[in-house]
Amino acid sequence: MSNALSVGNRDDFLETIIRVYSGKGIAIPYIFKETYGSDEMFKAIATGFILGLKYSKYQKEENKEVVNND
């Protein structure tokens, strides 16, 4: 999927999206239709989608002591 994005192949990217969503029985989000608006729109939506897949929620470490060994 990221390969299709890097070479700008909109059709391969959307084919993968359709296959994955259909295989899971999930409705395909309407935003993917917007990828046909322009190359910039395709890159923005596809990049956002891939980043969302790789996202992990940041958890702040609390009460972490800093040791100063001077």
Each residue's pLDDT tens digit, 13-58: 999 999 999 999 999 999 999 988 899 999 999 999 999 888 877 7
pTM score: 0.69
Residue identified by tokens 């999206």 is 17
Characterize 43-63 residue by residue with b for buried, 16 or more Cβ atoms within 10 angstroms of its Cβ, and e for exposed: eebbeebeeeeeeeeeeeeee
CA distance 26 to 64: 42
Q: Show me where the domains of the chain are located.
A: 2-54
Residue type, 26: I
Give the orientation angle of helix 39-54 with respect to helix 10-24, to 10 degrees: 40
Residue type, 40: E
On the question of pLDDT at 9 being above 70, the answer is yes
